[in-house]
Structure 1
Amino acid sequence: MSFGPPPSAYTQSALAADQARRRRRNRILGGLAGGVLVIALCAGGLFLSSAGDDGAPADGKVAAGAQQPDEIRSTVEKAPRSPEGREVVEHSVEHLEKHTDGNPLYAPGSWATAKIFARGIADHVEGYRIEPHYDEKVWTLDLGGHICATSRHVTADGRTAVVIQPPKSATDPGNGVCDQVVFFDLDTGRKLWQKKMPAADFAYVTNTDLTLTKGVVAVAWGHGSVAYDMKSGKQLWNTTTTAQCADQGFAGGRALLALAACGQAPDTTYKVQKLDPRTGKNLWTYRLTRGVSRVYLPSSDPPVLAVAAGDTQVTDLITLDDQGRHAATVPLKGYDAKCGDRYYGKIFFGVVENCDGIVVGPTQAYVSSKENIANGQPGDWIVAFDLKTGKTGGKFDGRDLQKVYPLRMSGDDLLIYREGAGAVGLAGLVSWNPRTDKETPLLFFELPQDHEGELSDPERTDILAEEGNIFFGPRELVRDDDSPKDAVLVAVGFGSAGLKH
C-alpha cells in the first residue's frame, strides 16, 4: 500500500510523524448535544505581472442545450418548498480494525449527481443511491491501484477522473508511482477509459495534480504534464522535465491555468500561464516575484491566485484580468484561505486547486475569516472582495457557536454551510446574495451527534451542495478505539423533506 517516495504515505517515518499531528479536536459544540430548538429561517502591488461558474437553470439541473456534455458542470440551486431537511444518504464501511489515527484509510474524492453520491476509498470508488430512508451502494468501481489525485470538477453529463497507482501483484509490489488516469461515469460507475501517463516515473501522491476543463483531462506532477481528450482518451499534448520550468499543477473549470516552478530551491520562482486546453499553447503568462514559497489557483476564470509570501500559509490573493495582467492584491491577514490544509497539511491527492476557505464568483472572491472565540459574537464570517479593485463588497456573519463556510457559486449567489450547534441551532445550507445581502435558507438539518465536529470541518471532510442536497464525506477513516469492530461513517447527505417549486 505504499505511495512511494518522496515520501511514502505509508512509510514508518510518515506514520511516526502522524503521532504528533493535531487530531480530532474536541469542539465546544460537543457539550451542547441534545434537543434541537426551532430556529428562524432567516438570519437577520506586492507582486508584479509581466503579462505576455456560468449560471444554469434554477432547478439545479443542467437543461438540454444549456451546457454541452463535455463542459464542466455549473448549476444553480433553487429554494425548496420547505427547508426542513431529511437524510437521503448514510453509508458506513466495515473492517477498519487496523486503521488508527496514525494509520487512516484515506477516502479522497467526493462527487454528486442527481442520483448518486460517490466516494473514493483507497483503491476503489463507491456510488450510493440518493433516496430518503434507503441505504444502497449502487456500484463499486475497482481501480486496481490506490487513488493518488482527484478533482472536484464534474462534466455536465456526470463524468470525472482520478489518477491512480498501477495495479500491483504479489511479485510486483510497485514503487508508489502514480501513472494511470481513469475517466468514469458517476451515475453508472462505468470506467470510460484508462491511460498510462508518459514519462511519469516521478509522479507520486505528494506531487500529482489533476483537473478537468471543457473536453480535456489534465495532469501535472512537477516533472511533467499531460492532457487527454475526454471523449476518446487520446493524448492531446504533454511536457517534459527538459524545460527550464516544470508544471506543478493545473486549475480547470471554465479555463485551464498552469502553475509552473522555475529553478531549484531555495531560488524557485513561479509563473502562472493560461493554456489552450486542446493544444497546450501558452496564451499569457503572469510571473510572481521572488520570495513566494507557495502558489494555489482557486479559480481559472476569473483568474485568481492565492500566494504564500515568505511563509507556507497564504498571505495574499492576487486577481488578474482576462489578459493575465495584475488587477488587485488582497492581503489576507485575519483570514483563513484553507489552502493545502487537507490531510493535516500533507500534500496528498492534489492541492493546487484546493482552497476550502475561498470561493470565486464572476466579480467577487469570498474568503473565510479566522475563527472568532469571543463569547456572544459570530464564530467567523465571510467577506466578499471585488476582483477588479480588491475592495470589500459585503460580509456574511456566522453566529455565536455556528461558523460558516463558503461552498461554491450558485449563479451569482454564494452557497454557504452553517455549522450546527446542538440545542442552539440546526446546521444549514443557505444561499447569500451579496448585492442585496439577502439570505435564502435552502436546508436545515441535524448531523449525527458523534460525528458533528468532524463532518463540519472542511479541513477533514468534503462538503458538497448539489441538486438540492448537501453531502458530507470524511477524508480519513479510522476505527473507533472504544469499539474497533464497529462500522465507520463514510457518507451522509440531506435533502428537502418538501417538494421543490
Structure 2
Amino acid sequence: MTQPPPPPPNQPPDPQGGFGAPTPPPPAQQPEPGYGHPQQPPGYGYPQQQPDAGYGYPQQPPTEPGYGYPQQPPAAPQQSPYGYPTPQQQQPVQPPYGYPTQPQQHYGGYPQTAPAPAVAPGGKKLSAQLQIVIAAAVAVVLIIGAGIWYANSGSGGKDDEAKSSAGTSQGSGGNGGSGESKGTGGGGNEKPPADTQAKLTFQVPKPGVPDVTDVSGSWVTDKAYVKTGVNSLVAYDLAKGTALWTLPLTGQICGASRHVTADNKLPILFEASKRVAPRYYQQCTEVGTVDLTTGKLLWSTSVTGGSAGDQKARFGEITVSGTTVAAGGNDGGAAFDIANGNPRWKPQANDQNCYDLGYGGGAGLVAVRKCGPYESQYVLIQNLNPTTGAPISQYKMPTGVKYASIVSTKPLVVAADVGDSAGDGSGISDFFSLDEKTGKLKAKITADPDQYGARCRATRVESCTKAIVGNGRLYVPTEEHEGSTGEYGDETNEVIAFDLATGKTAPEKADAGDKYTLVPLRMDGGSLIAYKAPPYDKGGRIVSIDGVTMKETVLLENPADPTVNDIENSFSPDYSEILYRDGRVFMSAVMLSKPRSSASPTDNEPLAVSYSTR
C-alpha cells in the first residue's frame, strides 16, 4: 500500500479543535522550540544554515562549544540550566521533592495543597519533628477535604513486555505491562562486579569539522561501541577503543534509530551529498539500514510524495519496530521492509491535510499524526500495524497540543506540552498513559515543570530523555534542589515513579544523595539503570535501582583523580550521550564545532570516552 488508512471512524477528527499558536504548514520550516537555551538553527533535512542538536538531545548553549560545563565551584551564583533559579535565587523555600507543592496543580493525579514552609518567619529553620507534625496535618486535610483525580483505567490486561533495545541512547524505555504496578522489580542482566571501581579505558579524539556538525547517535553491541562520525559510522573495540570498522557514507548522518534489532540491524538517515561551503547544508533524504556487526550498509533508498511532490521526501527522524523501518517528517511518513528496503507506505497528500510527523518504535509502532489546516491543526496518536500501517487504535490529543512525543510504545505513554504551559522549554507539561489496544486514556499525569527534570524535543517524536517506562510505572527525575547541608553546590535530586493505570505517585523514591544528581538511562528487567552525575571532585557512578523498592546498587564508580575527573565532567548529561552495558560506561558528544583556537581547552576534549570495571 502507499499510505496508511485514514483515522478510524470511532474518533473523527475535529477540524475546529485549535491547538494554540498556529504551526507552520509543510513544507515551510520554522525554528524548533528548544530546551530553554537559544537554539542552534534547525536541522535534519529542513532548510537551514546549520544542523540542530537532533535525536532528542538538548541544544548546546551558544556560549560553550563543548558538551558539559566544568564543574568547579563557581565564584558567584549562576543561572541554572533551562531557566530554573539556583537555590540561592529561589525566594520561596521548596518542600521536599516528590511531594505536593501548589494547590492549583495536579501532582500525579492528586489535587495539591500548599504544605507548611520548611523555614519559620524570620528565616529560622523548623525542627524536623515539627515539620513531620505539620506534614501529617496537611496529609489529613488532603485525605478528608480533597478528591482524588484520575482518568478511567483501561482493560488492565497483561501486555507483552517491550524488550529494551541493545545499545540504545538514553531516553525512552519500555519494559513492563500496562496495568497497575505489577512489576516485581529487580532482575535484569546488569550485576555488580567484585570491585566497582572503574578505570579510564580509552578516549576517541574529535574529528575536525569546518562548521557545526551533529554527531548524535551511539550504540553498544557484544563486540563494539559504535558512534556517528563525520560522513561515517565507526565501530570501536570495547576494551581498546581501536577502530574495528568504518562505514563511509555519501553525506552526514542526519537521523538514526534509538532501537536496534536483535541481530544488530540499525536504520539510519543520511544526506545524499557532503556539505560544502558556504552553507554546509544538505537535505536529509536517504534511508538505509546498517549491520552493526559487519559495518555494511545493507540497503539505501529514498522516496517521493507528500508535500515534497516529485522531489525526494525529507525526513527528520527514523525508528524500527519488528521488521518495519519508519521515517517521519514534515513531508510525511514512510515505512520500509528492514530486510530489503522495499517501501511499505509512502508520504501522500490527502484532503484532511494529515501527515505522519514521526514514529515511536521498539515493542510497537506508534505514529504522531498532524491534521487540519494551518490555523487549526490537531494531533492524533495512532497505534499502527507495523506491516500495513493500518491504525489499531487512536487517541486525539487535547486542544492546545501542537506536538507530542512518544515515551514508550508498549505500554503506550505520550508526553506533550499542552497550551505551551510548561514554560521551561522541556516540551512536557503532561504525560498521557494510553491503552494501546483501544486508544482510551488511562491516566493523565501532570508534570510540574518546576519539579521534574524529564525533557523532550517538542518537534521530535522519539526524543525524550530521563523519562523511562517499566514495571507499569513512569520514572522521572526531579529537578536539582538544595541538599541537606545547605552549602553552595550541594544540589541533589530524586527519581519519582507514577503508576500508569491511575496516575498516582508511588510511595517509594530513589535519592541521589548530597552533591549527586540521578539521570535515568534505561530499564534492565525490573530495574532502572541510572547515571549519578558527581560533584566536581568526585567520580560519577552507574547504579541499578530496583523498580519497585527503589533501592540502589552501585555497578560502577569512576575515578576521582582530577585529570580523569575533568574528562568526565566535560560530558554533561544534558548535552551528551551516556550508555552503560556489562561493566562499561560510554560517554560521547552530540555536536561538533569548528575549533575556536588552538588554546581552547574544549577543542581538546574527546569525541567519546569509556570507563570500565573489567
Same fold (TM over 0.5): yes
Amino acid at match of 1:181: V
Q: Give the drift of 1:445.
A: 1.0
* Alignment: residue pair count: 440
Q: What does residue 319 of structure 1 align with?
A: 433
User: Within 2, Cα distance between the matches of 1:55 and 1:127?
Assistant: 24
Do the aligned partners of 1:106 and 1:475 also contact (CA within 8 Å) in 2? yes
User: Within 2, Cα distance between the matches of 1:20 and 1:81?
Assistant: 40
User: Within 2, Cα distance between the matches of 1:253 and 1:390?
Assistant: 23
Q: Give the drift of 1:55.
A: 6.2
Do the aligned partners of 2:272 and 2:286 also contact (CA within 8 Å) in 1? yes
Q: What does residue 82 of structure 1 align with?
A: 195
Q: What does residue 137 of structure 2 align with?
A: none
Structure 2 residue corresponding to 1:283, chosen from 375, 389, 392: 392
User: Within 1, Cα distance between the matches of 2:540 and 2:217?
Assistant: 23
1:412 maps onto 2:531 in alignment: no
Cα distance 1:495–1:119, how it changes in 2: closer, same or farther (>3 A)? same
Q: What does residue 65 of structure 1 align with?
A: none
Structure 1 residue corresponding to 2:265, chosen from 141, 159, 162: 159
Amino acid at match of 2:396: R
Q: What does residue 119 of structure 1 align with?
A: 227
Cα distance 1:140–1:487, how it changes in 2: closer, same or farther (>3 A)? farther
Q: What does residue 213 of structure 1 align with?
A: 321
Q: What does residue 475 of structure 2 align with?
A: 366
User: Within 1, Cα distance between the matches of 2:441 and 2:248?
Assistant: 45
Cα distance 1:121–1:169, how it changes in 2: closer, same or farther (>3 A)? closer
Q: Specify every segment of 5 or more residues in structure 1 that has no aligned partner in the other structure, as ranges.
A: 12-17, 33-44, 57-73, 342-346
User: Within 1, Cα distance between the matches of 2:62 and 2:400?
Assistant: 27
Report which of the two structures shows the higher radius of gyration computed on alpha carbons: 2
Which whole-Å deviations, capped at 9, do the CAs of 1:131-189 have from their partners, x for residues lacking one? Answer: 1xx3311111111112121121111122212111113599xx99732221121111321
User: Within 2, Cα distance between the matches of 1:111 and 1:31?
Assistant: 33
Cα distance 1:429–1:480, how it changes in 2: closer, same or farther (>3 A)? farther
User: Within 2, Cα distance between the matches of 1:372 and 1:25?
Assistant: 22
Cα distance 1:6–1:416, how it changes in 2: closer, same or farther (>3 A)? same
Which whole-Å deviations, capped at 9, do the CAs of 1:375-411 have from their partners, x for residues lacking one? Answer: 3565111111111011111311112221110000000
Q: What does residue 398 of structure 1 align with?
A: 512
Structure 1 residue corresponding to 2:611, chosen from 489, 494, 501: 494
Structure 2 residue corresponding to 1:329, chosen from 424, 444, 454: 444
Structure 1 residue corresponding to 2:455, chosen from 315, 326, 338: 338
Q: Which secondary structure state, in structure 2, belongs to the residue aligned with residue 328 of structure 1?
A: strand
User: Within 1, Cα distance between the matches of 2:60 and 2:266?
Assistant: 34
1:383 maps onto 2:470 in alignment: no
User: Within 2, Cα distance between the matches of 1:277 and 1:358?
Assistant: 24
Which whole-Å deviations, capped at 9, do the CAs of 1:296-321 have from their partners, x for residues lacking one? Answer: 11111110010101116310011012
Amino acid at match of 2:72: G
Amino acid at match of 1:464: L
User: Within 1, Cα distance between the matches of 2:588 and 2:612?
Assistant: 15
Do the aligned partners of 2:45 and 2:283 also contact (CA within 8 Å) in 1? yes
Do the aligned partners of 2:235 and 2:246 also contact (CA within 8 Å) in 1? yes
Q: Which secondary structure state, in structure 1, belongs to the residue aligned with residue 293 of structure 2?
A: coil
User: Within 2, Cα distance between the matches of 1:121 and 1:175?
Assistant: 16
Cα distance 1:19–1:469, how it changes in 2: closer, same or farther (>3 A)? closer
Q: What does residue 554 of structure 2 align with?
A: 441
Do the aligned partners of 2:50 and 2:280 also contact (CA within 8 Å) in 1? no
User: Within 2, Cα distance between the matches of 1:267 and 1:93?
Assistant: 45
User: Within 1, Cα distance between the matches of 2:544 and 2:60?
Assistant: 39
Amino acid at match of 1:257: V
Q: Give the drift of 1:75.
A: 6.9
Do the aligned partners of 2:67 and 2:576 also contact (CA within 8 Å) in 1? no
User: Within 2, Cα distance between the matches of 1:480 and 1:451?
Assistant: 19
Matches within 5 A, 1:85-124: 85-96=198-209, 98=210, 103-124=211-232
Q: Which secondary structure state, in structure 2, belongs to the residue aligned with residue 270 of structure 1?
A: strand
Structure 2 residue corresponding to 1:29, chosen from 47, 71, 93: 71
User: Within 2, Cα distance between the matches of 1:215 and 1:196?
Assistant: 18
User: Within 1, Cα distance between the matches of 2:379 and 2:68?
Assistant: 39
Amino acid at match of 1:490: L
Q: What does residue 185 of structure 1 align with?
A: 291
Q: What does residue 132 of structure 2 align with?
A: none
Do the aligned partners of 1:383 and 1:395 also contact (CA within 8 Å) in 2? yes
Do the aligned partners of 1:402 and 1:419 also contact (CA within 8 Å) in 2? yes
Q: Give the drift of 1:105.
A: 2.8
User: Within 1, Cα distance between the matches of 2:275 and 2:206?
Assistant: 25
Do the aligned partners of 1:144 and 1:168 also contact (CA within 8 Å) in 2? yes
Q: What does residue 71 of structure 1 align with?
A: none
Q: Give the drift of 1:47.
A: 12
Q: Give the drift of 1:108.
A: 1.6
Amino acid at match of 1:7: Q
CA RMSD, Structure 1 to Structure 2 (Å): 3.3
Structure 1 residue corresponding to 2:578, chosen from 463, 467, 472: 463
Cα distance 1:111–1:202, how it changes in 2: closer, same or farther (>3 A)? same
Paired-residue identity, %:
28
Do the aligned partners of 1:55 and 1:410 also contact (CA within 8 Å) in 2? no
User: Within 2, Cα distance between the matches of 1:310 and 1:356?
Assistant: 21
User: Within 2, Cα distance between the matches of 1:139 and 1:243?
Assistant: 47
Which whole-Å deviations, capped at 9, do the CAs of 1:63-89 have from their partners, x for residues lacking one? Answer: xxxxxxxxxxx9732222322213344
User: Within 2, Cα distance between the matches of 1:463 and 1:250?
Assistant: 23
Amino acid at match of 1:273: Q
Q: Give the drift of 1:223.
A: 2.1
User: Within 1, Cα distance between the matches of 2:542 and 2:61?
Assistant: 34
Structure with the bigger percentage of strand: 1
User: Which range moved further: 148-157 or 370-379?
Assistant: 370-379
Do the aligned partners of 1:153 and 1:253 also contact (CA within 8 Å) in 2? yes
1:9 maps onto 2:50 in alignment: yes
Which protein, 1 or 2, shows the higher relative CO under an 8 Å CA cutoff with sep ≥ 6? Answer: 2
TM-score, length basis structure 1: 0.79
Q: Specify every segment of 5 or more residues in structure 2 that has no aligned partner in the other structure, as ranges.
A: 1-42, 53-58, 75-108, 110-148, 155-160, 165-186
1:483 maps onto 2:525 in alignment: no
Q: Which secondary structure state, in structure 2, belongs to the residue aligned with residue 310 of structure 1?
A: helix
User: Within 1, Cα distance between the matches of 2:343 and 2:257?
Assistant: 19
User: Within 1, Cα distance between the matches of 2:67 and 2:232?
Assistant: 29
TM-score, length basis structure 2: 0.65
Cα distance 1:373–1:326, how it changes in 2: closer, same or farther (>3 A)? same
User: Within 2, Cα distance between the matches of 1:89 and 1:189?
Assistant: 21
User: Within 2, Cα distance between the matches of 1:152 and 1:106?
Assistant: 16
1:271 maps onto 2:380 in alignment: yes
Cα distance 1:80–1:26, how it changes in 2: closer, same or farther (>3 A)? closer
Q: Which secondary structure state, in structure 1, belongs to the residue aligned with residue 205 of structure 2?
A: strand
Do the aligned partners of 1:403 and 1:419 also contact (CA within 8 Å) in 2? yes
User: Within 2, Cα distance between the matches of 1:325 and 1:368?
Assistant: 27
Q: Give the drift of 1:19.
A: 11
Q: Which secondary structure state, in structure 2, belongs to the residue aligned with residue 449 of structure 1?
A: helix
Q: Which secondary structure state, in structure 2, belongs to the residue aligned with residue 179 of structure 1?
A: strand
User: Within 1, Cα distance between the matches of 2:68 and 2:570?
Assistant: 9
Amino acid at match of 1:463: I
Cα distance 1:105–1:484, how it changes in 2: closer, same or farther (>3 A)? farther
Do the aligned partners of 1:198 and 1:226 also contact (CA within 8 Å) in 2? no
Cα distance 1:427–1:150, how it changes in 2: closer, same or farther (>3 A)? same
1:232 maps onto 2:340 in alignment: yes
Q: What does residue 59 of structure 1 align with?
A: none
